Amino acid sequence: MLREQGKYAEAKLLYQEVLAAQKRVLGDDHPTTLNAAGMLAHLLLKQGKCAEAEGPLRKTFAAKKRVLGNAHSSTQSTALNLALALRMQGKHAEAETLVQQTYQVHKDV
């Protein structure tokens, strides 16, 4: 709700708090923890902080591929968010490659 109301600073603090608790209780590679990490990175994207979001998105994408598999919808959603972050930073070739890979996974599934 805070994110949708544009209260990004408050939302970021809450996301960080939830992510820390989930890491402590569930571990770094639990799907719920990975989802929380992705939501925090998505918040950064919503604020236009693409460079800041790129690292967490890369880390979350790699972890989701390892834990959930490349074809999982959550993994693919993170891939598209990463592609968006890359495109918004002018890294068009890498973004295009990632989108093409994601498209191929969707076709295969």
CA–CA separation, 95 vs 50, rounded Å?
A: 13
The model's pTM is: 0.90
pLDDT for 55: 95
- Residue 6: predicted pLDDT: 87
Q: What is the pLDDT of residue 3?
A: 84
Domain ranges of the chain: 8-108
pLDDT of residue 4: 85
| pLDDT number for residue 2 | 87
Token couple for 24: 């402590």
* CB-based contact 46:8 (threshold 8 Å): yes
Token pair of 18, please?
């939830």
pLDDT at 36: 93
Residue among 10, 63, 12 at smallest CA distance from 39: 12
- Residue 1's pLDDT is 86
- Extract the residue ranges of the chain whose pLDDT is less than 50: none
At the fourth CATH level, the homologous superfamily of domain 8-108 is Tetratricopeptide repeat domain (1.25.40.10)
